[in-house]
C-alpha cells in the first residue's frame, strides 16, 4: 500500500476516512463562464478497500455555473491490465462484466 501523505503544517493525514462528519475545504476560484469569483469545495477522502480520491464541487453565485468532479488522489500505477473480449454472436453481449 502507498505511503500515507501528511499535511506539512499540521502533520495530520491529508486524506481522511470517508464519514458523515468530514468537512470540505472552501477556496475562492475563477469561474470559467463569467470570469467572476466562485467557490470551490475540496474534500480529500479515503474510501475503505478502494483508494484515496479528491471530491471537488464548484459553484458560481453570479452566473449559476455548477461543476462536480471526482479525481484519483493516488499516483498512476506503473503497470496496468488489458482485457480483451471477442464477441461472435449477439448472445455474447448479454453479459455483465
86 pLDDT band, cuts 50/70/90, is confident
| Cα 25 versus chain centre, distance | 14
Residue 12 — φ and ψ, nearest 5°? Answer: -80, 155
- Tell me if 39 sits within 8 A of 31, measured CB to CB: no
For the whole model, what pTM was predicted? Answer: 0.57
* pLDDT exceeds cutoff 80 at 21: no
* pLDDT exceeds cutoff 90 at 29: yes
- Tell me if 30 sits within 8 A of 38, measured CB to CB: yes
pLDDT value of residue 6: 58
pLDDT tens digits, one per residue of 34-72: 999 999 999 888 887 788 889 999 999 999 999 999 988
Amino acid at each position: 500500500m502507498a505511503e500515507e501523505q501528511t499535511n506539512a503544517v499540521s502533520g495530520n493525514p491529508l486524506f481522511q476516512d470517508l464519514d458523515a462528519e468530514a468537512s470540505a475545504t472552501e477556496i475562492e476560484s475563477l469561474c470559467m463562464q463569467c470570469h467572476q469569483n466562485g467557490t470551490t469545495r475540496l474534500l480529500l477522502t479515503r474510501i475503505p478497500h478502494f483508494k484515496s480520491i479528491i471530491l471537488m464541487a464548484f459553484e458560481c453565485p453570479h452566473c449559476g455555473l455548477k461543476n462536480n468532479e471526482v479525481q484519483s488522489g493516488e499516483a498512476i500505477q506503473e503497470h496496468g491490465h488489458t482485457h480483451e473480449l471477442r464477441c461472435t454472436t449477439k448472445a455474447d453481449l448479454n453479459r455483465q462484466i
